[in-house]
C-alpha cells in the first residue's frame, strides 16, 4: 500500500459549509485531494478544521491552492502529516455517517450493510467531486425530490445541472425510472466521477428512457442539453452567483408548468435568487431549509413558452 498524506488548516464554520461547493482551484491539480471538514471542539462552534487527504505528498502549488479555500487562515501554514499505515480513502470516510433524506439512504462503501429494508440506497464515495449527501444543500435537494414524488409529481425529462457526483440525477431516476435524465457539469472530473458512481449504483448510461446521459458543459451551452429541452424538471445545486447569471437560459429551457429546484445558496441569498427567476416567469412553490441552506422549488407559469 502506498503512503498517504493529510494536510490540515483551520477554517470558519461558514468556510467549512461552503468549501465543497467550489473546488475549482483543486480539480486541475495533478493530485486532487479528498476534502473533509469537522468541528474539533463543540464548545467553539465557529472554529472548524479543513482536512485534505492525498495519495502522495502535496507540493507547494497544491498547498497554496488548498489555502484559497480558507481565507480566514491566510496567515497559517498547512500542517502536513504522513499517514504511512493508513488507507487514505478509508480514513477519509470514517467520519461520513449515512444520510437519510426522505426515502433515500446515502452511504459510503463502509455502510453497505446498514441500508434499511424500505430505503432507496445510493452509494457515493467521498472523493474528487462535490455531492456526497453530507452537505445540507444536497440533503435538501434529496428531501425536495422525495416531496415532489410523494405529492404526485411526475417527470419524464430531467436535467441535473452541475451534477457533482451524479447523486441527484441518480435519485431522480430512482423516483421516475421511465424518465430521460441528463447530468451535466462544467468540471470534467465531476463527469468522470459520475460515470464511476453510475456503475457502482447500477445506473444505465445513455440517451434512452431509464438512462442518464452525461455532458461536460458550462451552464446549458451544449448541443445535447439544448436538443433535449424543454425539461419538465431541472435541478441546479450550484452557487447563488451562477444561479442568478443562468436564470434566463435555465428558465428558457424549462417547459411551461415545469419545476425548477435551486440550491447551493445561503439564507441571505435566497431572495435575490428567487427574484431572478420570478423575472423569468417562475413562481416559488415550496422550500426546504437545512441549517443556513435553503432549497427552493419553483414552477414556470403555464402561459409562457420555453424558447
Sheet holding 79-82, edge to edge: 34-38, 47-54, 5-12, 79-82
Residue 138 assigned ligand-binding role: yes
Largest CA-CA distance found in the chain, in angstroms, rounded: 63
Residue 201 assigned ligand-binding role: no
Q: Please name the residue that has the C-alpha cell 487562515.
A: 73
Residue 157 assigned ligand-binding role: no
Q: How far apart are CA 212 and CA 180, in angstroms?
A: 7
Element (DSSP H or E) covering residue 152: none
Q: How far apart are CA 42 and CA 37, in angstroms?
A: 14
Beta strand pairing call for 79-82 and 5-12: antiparallel
Q: How far apart are CA 96 and CA 107, in angstroms?
A: 8
Angle between helices 167-175 and 188-200 in degrees, nearest 10 = 40
Which is nearest to 132 in space by CA: 123, 141, 140?
Answer: 123
Q: How far apart are CA 82 and CA 59, in angstroms?
A: 13
Binding site members: 138, 162, 185, 237
Binding site members for S-adenosyl-L-methionine: 138, 162, 185, 237
Amino acid at each position: 500500500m502506498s503512503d498517504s498524506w493529510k494536510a490540515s488548516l483551520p477554517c470558519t464554520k461558514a468556510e467549512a459549509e461552503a468549501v465543497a461547493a467550489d473546488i475549482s482551484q483543486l480539480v486541475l491539480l495533478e493530485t486532487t485531494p479528498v476534502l473533509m471538514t469537522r468541528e474539533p471542539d463543540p464548545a467553539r462552534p465557529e472554529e472548524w478544521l479543513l482536512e485534505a487527504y492525498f495519495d502522495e505528498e502535496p507540493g507547494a502549488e497544491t498547498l497554496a491552492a488548498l489555502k484559497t479555500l480558507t481565507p480566514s487562515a491566510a496567515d497559517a501554514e498547512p500542517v502536513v502529516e504522513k499517514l504511512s499505515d493508513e488507507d487514505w480513502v478509508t480514513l477519509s470516510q470514517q467520519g461520513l455517517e449515512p444520510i437519510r433524506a426522505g426515502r433515500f439512504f446515502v452511504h459510503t462503501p463502509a455502510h453497505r450493510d446498514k441500508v434499511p429494508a424500505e430505503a432507496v440506497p445510493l452509494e457515493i464515495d467521498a472523493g474528487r467531486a462535490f455531492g456526497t449527501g453530507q452537505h445540507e444543500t444536497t440533503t435538501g435537494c434529496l428531501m425536495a425530490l422525495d416531496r415532489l414524488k410523494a405529492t404526485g409529481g411526475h417527470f419524464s425529462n430531467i436535467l441535473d445541472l452541475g451534477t457533482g457526483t451524479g447523486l441527484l440525477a441518480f435519485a431522480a431516476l430512482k423516483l421516475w425510472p421511465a424518465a430521460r435524465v441528463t447530468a451535466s457539469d462544467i468540471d470534467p472530473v465531476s463527469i468522470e466521477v459520475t460515470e464511476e458512481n453510475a456503475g457502482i449504483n447500477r445506473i444505465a448510461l445513455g440517451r434512452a428512457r431509464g438512462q442518464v446521459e452525461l455532458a461536460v458543459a458550462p451552464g446549458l451551452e451544449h448541443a445535447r442539453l439544448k436538443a433535449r429541452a424543454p425539461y419538465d424538471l431541472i435541478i441546479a445545486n450550484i452557487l447563488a452567483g451562477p444561479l442568478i447569471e443562468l436564470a434566463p437560459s435555465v428558465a428558457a429551457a424549462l417547459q411551461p408548468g415545469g419545476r425548477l429546484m435551486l440550491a447551493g445558496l445561503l439564507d441571505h441569498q435566497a431572495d435575490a435568487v428567487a427574484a431572478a427567476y420570478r423575472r423569468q416567469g417562475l413562481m416559488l412553490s415550496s422550500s426546504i431549509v437545512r441549517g443556513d441552506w435553503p432549497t427552493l422549488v419553483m414552477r414556470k407559469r403555464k402561459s409562457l413558452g420555453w424558447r
